[in-house]
A = this chain, B = another copy of it.
């Protein structure tokens, strides 16, 4: 490792490694919750417990385990009710992942209190969170102090380039995957060297593999090899990480970890913004699933309608903005449409049914058709498929207002160039 790289990594670590004060503060908040849960089978888990959390990420996971006989449904109602009762003095809020959990605030620290089932082995998990104690144990057994720091550097790198997190908005690398990559390759830099060589399908086996998976990144979970721990990683996130790794190894810079905000940008082509205001509470993962499907549908409908889509982006702030960048918003009133080859039965009915029909050099019939929709805005509106109540407005982007819009117009991420 060159001195330059060492300097950069030291600086990153200085910025992301929590101090003793922060650790004490989180510990004491967690203890308060554990005390309120005394008598229950409660434990701290997650990145705080594993010692891989980033400075300022003040969230701690407390798991409350119930006998597996209680079942998935049991913890959803009885389990959660019991926890709720014990924590009733605190400021609590209900949240949802695969199943509901509680968020409580203690001395400015956010603590997720998650009900789970106590099972004997990772591969006996009934709900997704039942594996957590085994993840904790596995990672604790594999990472020493330096290893934990390497994870922190990697997480910050992934955050910097925008691929940290398994949620649908990101479809990137979870904390656990970051830990597994560090364990597998040995250090942050070795992870980068490894990912520089990734292709469209990559298999990383730490302990064993018990089935086939079809994902860009396959990391059989060491505590439950029937599961792909990296199933959430999209090809786009994987590619972004691989490109970023190569770019960093070629020209190391702090900029990958803490990229500068994008500068103002000229609009190229035409950018139609469809602004969606949500009128009811939503679960982020559910919303983003719908937004991704909407973006795909917008792209297909515009293409069928004769528009050339250059890019589609989604910006989430107080409202959600769907940005559609077209070569131009103008499209011809007529278009060429291909009919059947001359020898098919339906060739004559094609002649009967259409106004302008001719035979092409390829022996197929052709006709000109009038476009049903000349407005790309209408095509976009008709493609929006959100299940949450919402209102929509549209405009053409003249100037980028926020960082998300500027990044969209800039295209090249600031960490890359």
**A368 CB within 8 Å of chain B:** yes
Quote the shortest CB–CB distance from A36 to chain B (angstroms): 46
In the complex, which of the residues B199, B352, B362, B416 contacts A235, with contact meaning CB atoms closer than 8 Å?
B362
Number of copies: 2
A109 on the B face (CB < 8 A) = no
Say if the beta carbon of A126 comes within 8 Å of chain B.
Answer: no
Interface string of A360-404 (1 = CB under 8 A from B): 111111111000000000000000000000000000000000000
Contact B411 A242 (CB under 8 A): no
B242, A367: Cβ atoms closer than 8 Å: no
Q: A363: which of B235, B328, B363, B365 is its contact (CB, 8 Å)?
A: B235
Query: A355 to chain B: which residues have CB within 8 Å?
Result: 412
Which of B269, B326, B335, B366 lies in contact with A327, CB distance below 8 A? Answer: B335
Taken together as a complex, chains A and B put the C-alpha atoms of A328 and B335 apart, in Å, by: 9
* Chain B residues near A348 (CB-CB < 8 A): 243, 246-247, 250
The answer to the question of A334 belonging to the interface, with a C-beta cut-off of 8 Å to chain B, is: yes
A351 at the interface (CB under 8 A from B): yes
| A1 within 8 A of partner (CB) | no
Give A136-159 as 1s and 0s: 1 = Cβ < 8 Å from B's Cβ atoms: 000000000000000000000000
Is A333 on the interface with B (CB-CB < 8 A)?
Answer: yes
- Distance from A401 Cβ to chain B, minimum over Cβ atoms (Å): 19
Q: A242-B342, A348-B246, A351-B416 are in contact. Are A327 and B356 (CB under 8 A)?
A: no
**Once the chains bind, are B356 and A412 in contact (CB under 8 Å)?**
yes
CB of A259, distance to nearest CB on chain B (Å)? 14
Closest Cβ neighbor of A312 among chain B residues: B361
Q: Could you tell me if A343 and B200 are in contact, using CB atoms closer than 8 angstroms?
A: yes
A344 CB to closest chain B CB, in angstroms? 9
Whether the pair A363, B332 counts as a contact (CB closer than 8 A) is: no
* Residue on B nearest A361 in the bound complex, by CB: B236
Chain B residues near A326 (CB, 8 Å)?
A: 332
**Cβ-closest chain B residue relative to A412:** B357
Asked whether A328 lies within 8 Å of B330 as measured between CB atoms, the reply is: yes
A247 touches B351 (CB 8 A): yes
* A205 part of interface (Cβ distance < 8 Å): no
B363 touches A239 (CB 8 A): yes
Interface flag for A288 (CB, 8 Å): no
Interface size class of A (residues with CB under 8 A): 35 or more
Nearest residue, chain B, Cβ from A237: B359
- State A198–B341 Cα separation when bound (angstroms): 11
Q: Residue A333 contacts which of B269, B335, B336 (CB distance < 8 angstroms)?
A: B269
- The 8 Å CB contact of A310, one of B334, B342, B365, B411, is B334
A308 within 8 A of B: yes
* Interface contact A358-B311, CB-CB below 8 Å: yes
Q: Is A174 an interface residue (CB 8 A)?
A: no
| A417 beta carbon closer than 8 Å to chain B | yes
Q: For the complex formed, measure the closest distance between the CB of A208 and the CB atoms of chain B, giving whole angstroms.
A: 26
Which residues from chain B contact A366 at a C-beta distance below 8 Å?
Answer: 311, 411
CB-based contact B410/A236 at 8 Å: no
CB distance from A300 to the nearest CB of B (A): 13
Q: What's the Cα separation between A416 and B368 when bound, in Å?
A: 16
A331 in the interface (beta carbon within 8 A): yes
Q: Which residues of chain B have C-beta atoms less than 8 A from A327's C-beta?
A: 306, 331-332, 334-336
- Determine which of B246, B250, B268, B365 lies in contact with A368 in the assembled complex, contact meaning CB atoms within 8 Å: B268
Q: CA separation between A335 and B326, bound complex, in Å?
A: 9
Contact of B359 with A243 in the complex, beta carbons under 8 Å: yes
| Cβ-closest chain B residue relative to A368 | B268
| Contact of A240 with B by CB under 8 A | yes
Residues of B within 8 A of A106 (CB): none
Interface contact B269-A359, CB-CB below 8 Å: no
Q: In the complex where A235-B362, A334-B327, A411-B367 touch, is A357 in contact with B311 (Cβ < 8 A)? A: no
The answer on a CB contact under 8 Å between B411 and A357 is yes
A187 in the interface (beta carbon within 8 A) = no
Look across to chain B and name the residue whose beta carbon is closest to the beta carbon of A354.
B412
A-B contact pairs, 30 of them (CB 8 A): A197-B343, A235-B362, A236-B360, A238-B363, A239-B343, A239-B359, A243-B347, A243-B348, A247-B348, A247-B351, A268-B333, A268-B368, A269-B332, A269-B334, A309-B336, A310-B336, A311-B336, A326-B332, A327-B334, A328-B331, A330-B330, A352-B417, A356-B411, A356-B412, A357-B411, A357-B416, A358-B411, A358-B413, A366-B411, A367-B411
